[in-house]
Structure 1
Amino acid sequence: MRKSVRYILNGLTLPVFVVDPDRKISFINKSAKMRYHEAYTGQFFNELITSKKCLDALELVLNGEPNATANVILQEVVPTSFRVSLSRLDADSEPLPSCVLSFEDISHIQEAEQMRHDFVANVSHELRSPLTALSGFVETLQGAAANDKVARERFLDMMSNEADRMARLIGDLLSLSKLQASERVAPTDRVDLFRILSSVSSSLSGLADANKVKLKLDFSNSMPLVTGDSDELTQVFQNLIENAIKYSGNGSTVSVSFAPPKQGKSHLCIMVEDTGEGIEPTQIPRLTERFYRVDKGRSRAQGGTGLGLAIVKHILIRHRGWLKISSQLEKGSIFAVYLPVSKEKD
């Protein structure tokens, strides 16, 4: 193989092998050496790569086909998906062709496709449930309850609740889609968190009273301004404080407090803490996944769509902040929001 070809193959970021007519590896580029430390020239290729799909494609090319492709899963540290591209390499000095194989890691594409599939399945399920309920109520109203005023009012009230649930779900889906489309662009406004937290806490005081939850506020108007979008940050704290009130239980306390940036750091912290039943440690990493619920029945009963914390996560990503969740069973949970302090404008 010519030096110029070797230089080109070594410059590629994909792992590349050249396999000779005897099915032995005759060349390994730098990327392949970094990924497959055990590979060596002169090694039979099927000792390194055992995938039948890949080996069948290799046979096709060595037996005359100019090109072939194969999607394979190879066991590395974790099972990894690759798109293998194979091309015939003819050399004047060799009577039989060799084969160039490049390995493109497509695991992220497969994962994205699986996420899309799961998302569509979840949305379909979440919309089907209230639609099924509405259909059942309509059928009942057209039949046995047609002339029953009390039953009619009760069913109409339930239909209204199901319609509201669908509206919340669609609204959250649109919010999430908008956030994901714009999260690369950070907001630039200077926002007063004291006003936002005061407004949200005031609007939720009635809910706290209804749930017999004490709402404790520990922040002042001396908080520094943050860089952000006022409406989106209102949505963050509305979601977190409302969740804490709804799920902490009667007689519990929900505290909203502020911690200034640590020495040399640029992010302040707002903590929403409750004294509820806590969350299993194994469930905490999944709380910001779309449609993930710790208690599905309880969440739906409270009017939850399963998208609230996913929206919070994406808002904070756009704000170049983050959410940290900690919890202890029977003691409560803390949702800590970190946001960048706004720099003084010249």
Structure 2
Amino acid sequence: MARTAGRRRRRGAGLQVSRLTLTIFLANLAGLAVLLFGSFGLTQFRDGLIQAKLEGVRAQAQIIADVLAQTAIDETSCRPMEAGEAGPGEAGCALALNEGDVNQIFTRVWDSFEGRVRIFNAPQSFSDPPVTDAGALLLEDVVLRRDVIIVEELAPIDASPTEEFINEARRRLAEAFGNFLAGGYRREAARRALEDELNEALASSPFAEERGATSLRLNEDGELVASVSVPIRKVQAIYGIVTAEIGGIDELVLAARLAILPFFGLACLTAILSAFLLTAAIAQPIRQLALAAHQVREGVSAAGRVRIPDLTARRDEIGELSAALRSMTQAVYDRMEAIETFAADVAHELKNPLTSIRSAAETLEIAKDSAAREKLMALIKKDVARMNRLITDISNASRLDAELARQTHEPVELRKLIADIGELYAATLKDGEARVRFDAAGPPVYVSGNPTALSQVFRNLIDNARSFSPPNGEVRVFLEPAADREARLRVLVEDDGPGVPPDALEKIFTRFYTKRPSGSAFGNNSGLGLAICRQIVASHGGRIWAENRLADPANPEGPRLGARFVVELPAA
């Protein structure tokens, strides 16, 4: 059932939308959306458009003001001032435009002008502010248009209420969207009044390069217009004000924004294609690695092993991930094989003393001679002690991997560590045992490692050398410091025993290898000591090997003077 569920999960995995693909697409789309709204709200184009409109309207207003200053002013006549208009020292005649001349001017065709033009009389009292009601000073209000034909498609007469509702909803939505994008500058224009513009125009200098005042405001219909007001001057006297304004700003800005939409659509298509390409290049390989890792965890494989896809040829982070997963998977399989081998070796090693104990116990039942019974009992005790020692060594070896994984490295003074071990052997030396000799003189030598684990390595090597040494023999330990920072230091342990057969120089580091010369006590060694030494040294980045001390170094098959174990470690 579990296997069937796993097949269903893998079969359906190809139909699922990759979350990484969706993330890539949304990230690309988010950037495009920010760019789109930024371009919609971009003020540079809008301000340039408004400035261009104002420049055109200013030129138009100045021309009209100059024409009116030449043709619509009657200097010999004046408008009688009403009561209260004249101020201290003022004449009793107010400056004004000739309304008939103004009307006559605007009966002509202004082919080069467009927009709305209004003519205002000058205020007769320059109080603060001088203009409070523009309508009271208005003389003329005309709309100038170019000779163009505007074709507008009208809605069908028999349009259904639904279509009318949809069209109205679209209009309102577009208006609301435009107002949202317009933002602050439209709210600022709503606060601007025509009277403010007229007062600024009256206060402007006649010697300025750009006469009058400009503003961006809303007209009576709520349309955004660019407006310019220019005083009608004769010498220094102001006879009136020309206000020219033009709309269509919202339509032009909207058209420019709509022109961006096709490019946004193309960018979205590019983002989609980019997302799929990135999926093929990133998400899909990661998914393959994840599925393979999942199969490794479940142990699902027809051949017994799951192969992680080899993507190291990519030479990128995914290639590194593939190499790391392949290395990790291989380490897991190696560890599993080592556990299986270790379990088989443990079973084999435990069976030997158990078989011996069983045979001795069965013989003990039928033995009648007391000497024979004592001999069998001694054999059983010896095998029990052997099993106890074997189980202790196996327990230590099985915990070694976990301990090495948890251990922390620190600077270790190797010369002092070996000297302390030598003093321990000297303090516990018994008659007939080989003594340990080590010259502790010399400068400190440091390595980075775990002092407890390194101490176990040297004690195992010394114990092994003492076990092969002749009675009252000697085990010598030498420390060779590293020549420089890049070199490695060496620790040598030598004995005067029979040496190691050439074909067993590597086998002795195998677990449970206990081959010893004839005459040696049987069962006193578990064969795990040297294997533990190699494992610890490897975890410290070093290596260990065995070699023979030869009478003639040029003749490997010649007489052996003893064995030598070499431990090579990186210097700190």
Match of 1:180 in 2: 401
Counterparts of 1:274-289 in structure 2, within 5 Å, are 274-289=495-510
Q: Give the corresponding residue for 1:334.
A: 564
How far off its partner does 1:126 sit? 0.7
8 Å Cα contact 2:422/2:436 also seen in 1? no
> What's the secondary structure of 2:399's corresponding residue?
helix
In structure 2, the partner of 1:141 is: 364
Paired position in structure 1 for 2:437: 217
- In the alignment, what sits opposite 1:131? 354
Matches within 5 A, 1:81-160: 82-83=306-307, 108-145=331-368, 148-160=369-381
- Residue of structure 2 equivalent to 1:303: 524
Per-residue deviation, 1:133: 1.2
Give the RMSD, CA atoms, in angstroms. Answer: 4.0
State the 1:233 CA deviation: 4.0
| Cα distance in 2, alignment partners of residues 151 and 218 from structure 1 | 47
Against the structure 1 CA distance between its residues 201 and 187, is the aligned structure 2 distance closer, same or farther, given a 3 Å change threshold? farther
Structure 1: stretches of 5+ with no match in the other structure: 16-68, 74-80, 86-101, 210-214
Name the structure 2 match of 1:34.
none
Taking structure 1 as reference, are residues 160 and 288 closer, same or farther at Cα in structure 2, changes over 3 Å only? same
State whether residues 542 and 568 of structure 2, in contact with CA within 8 Å, keep that contact through their aligned partners in structure 1.
Answer: yes
Instruction: Tell me, yes or no, if the aligned pair for 2:433 and 2:472 is still in contact at 8 Å.
Output: no
Q: 1:124 offset after TM fit, Å? A: 0.6
**C-alpha separation in 2, matches of 1:298 and 1:290:** 22
Letter in 2 for 1:220: A
Q: Distance in 2 between matches of 1:207 and 1:338?
A: 31
- 1:247: Cα distance to partner? 2.8
- With over 3 angstroms needed to count, the CA separation of the structure-2 counterparts of 1:311 and 1:84, relative to structure 1, is closer
Query: Residues 341 and 152 of structure 1: is their aligned pair in 2 closer, same or farther, counting only changes over 3 Å?
Result: farther
**Matched ranges for 1:44-63 at <5 A:** none
**Structure 2: distance between partners of 1:207 and 1:340:** 36
Give a deviation string over 1:316-341, Cα, whole Å, max 9, x none. 34555542333365323211234566
Q: Deviations over 1:141-182 (max 9, x none)?
A: 23314xx33223322222222111111111112212222102
Partner of 2:133: none
What is the letter of the counterpart of residue 258 of structure 1?
Answer: L
- Cα deviation, residue 203, structure 1: 3.5
The aligned runs of 1:10-89 (5 Å cut-off) are: 11-12=285-286, 70-72=301-303, 82-83=306-307
For 1:159-170, what aligned pairs fall within 5 Å after superposition? Answer: 159-170=380-391
In the other structure, the counterpart of 2:148 is none
Alpha-carbon distance change, 222 to 198 in structure 1, aligned in 2, over 3 angstroms: farther
Q: How many residues align?
A: 259
How much does 1:120 deviate? 0.9
Q: 1:199 corresponds to which residue? A: 424
Contact 1:183 1:317 in 2 (8 A): no
Alignment of 1:292 onto 2:513: yes
Residue 468 of structure 2 corresponds to: 247
Deviations 1:250-303 (A, max 9, x none): 797532222223232585432111344433444333432322345598887151
How far apart are residue 113 of structure 1 and its match?
Answer: 2.9
Kindly indicate whether the alpha-carbon contact (under 8 Å) linking 1:187 and 1:318 is maintained by their aligned counterparts in 2. Answer: no
More strand by share: 1
Distance 1:251 1:203, change over 3 A: closer
Residues 445 and 481 in structure 2, CA contact (< 8 A), matched pair in contact too: no
SS of residue matched to 1:326: strand
Instruction: Tell me whether 272-281 or 150-159 shows the greater mean CA deviation.
Output: 272-281
Structure 1 pair 271–206 and aligned structure 2 pair: CA distance change class (3 A)? farther
User: Structure 1, residues 208-254: CA drift from partner, whole Å, max 9, x if none?
Assistant: 35xxxxx4624125462656555544432332122223235579753
TM-score, normalised by the number of residues in structure 1: 0.59
Q: Secondary structure of 1:301's match?
A: coil
* Counterparts of 2:354 and 2:505, CA distance in 1: 31
Q: Larger Cα Rg: Structure 1 or Structure 2?
A: 2
Report deviation, 1:125. Answer: 1.0
1:229-268 pair list within 5 angstroms: 231-248=452-469, 254-264=475-485, 268=489
1:107–1:263: structure 2 CA closer, same or farther, 3 Å change rule? Answer: closer
Amino acid at match of 1:271: L
Letter of the 1:159 partner, please give it.
I
Could you tell me which runs of 5 or more consecutive residues in structure 2 were left unpaired when the two chains were aligned: 1-272, 290-299, 310-321, 551-555
Select the structure with the greater relative contact order (CA < 8 A; seq sep ≥ 6). Answer: 1
